[in-house]
Amino acid sequence: MTKKIILPLLMLTGFYTPGCCAISMVSPEKLNALLAQKPAPTVVDVRSGYDFQKGHITGAVNVAYNTVDKAALPKAGALALYCGNDKCPLSHLAAKTLETMGYKDLIVLEGGITAWIAKGFAVETAAGLQQKKADVKITSILPDELRKRLAEKTTGIIDVRPAKEFKIAHIRGAKNIPLETLEGACAALSKDAEWFVYDAQNKRVKAAAQLLAQKDFKVKELSGGIQVWAADKYPMESGEEK
């Protein structure tokens, strides 16, 4: 019932515009053909992480529809977005957000993942992804050493906490890329730099470091997280990323 109400409302307010010239709709067959070309579009699954893990288009990145504005998705090349089925408006909402941010080549998959699977095209699960690469051993860095390293131009630091926690206080100069959007943001990160990641939770920072390492980034995690950094009274600031 909710979906039946939402879709007409989106159409009335202009957020959902089938056939709009700026955002192209493509069939599963067309998208499959595009993925075989070079350069292929970046495929973005805008559903929840839970749905993404159960099954998604092979090679897709997971960026929830309401966080696409923070995901730093690549502007070079096409972005192909999809959600659950033909009644799901989330891919259209995400595409509209990206369009207002200046993204030009946007594609929405007709029928979402349901139509894709019905045509027999390739999907993978989180378990399948984990089997492709074994966990990479991640080294940690002490707060004092990190403080010295941050003066170097070849280093960067990523705070993978939610934006509201980042605004309260964060390490000076850190980029805020919440763990939930990190995979989608990887395309905008330099592989020439060494990245240091931190969080307030050990499990989250390890997941973030592992994700970056799997994608061949040079990465270390901050030992003790933001709590130890703050306890040592090292430089911090508040507010949004500068």
Instruction: Please give the Cα distance from 144 to 177 (Å, whole number).
Output: 23
- For the purposes of burial, counting CB atoms within 10 Å of the CB of 111, is it exposed (0-12), middle (13-18) or buried (19 or more)? buried
Decide: 179 and 206 in contact? Cβ < 8 Å.
Answer: no
- Superfamily designation of domain 139-237: Rhodanese-like domain (3.40.250.10)
Residue 39, preceding peptide bond in cis (omega within 30° of 0): yes
Domain positions in the chain are 2-132, 139-237
The architecture that CATH gives domain 2-132 is 3-Layer(aba) Sandwich (3.40)
In the prediction, which pLDDT does 23 show? 83
pLDDT value of residue 14:
44
pTM (two decimals): 0.53
For residues 171 and 30, what is the distance between their CA atoms, to the nearest angstrom?
45
Please check whether residue 188 is in contact with residue 75, taking contact to mean a CB–CB distance below 8 angstroms.
Answer: no
- pLDDT recorded at residue 6: 41
Mean pLDDT by 10 residues, the chain (242 residues): 41 43 84 92 92 90 92 91 94 94 94 93 74 75 93 90 94 92 86 95 91 92 95 92 76
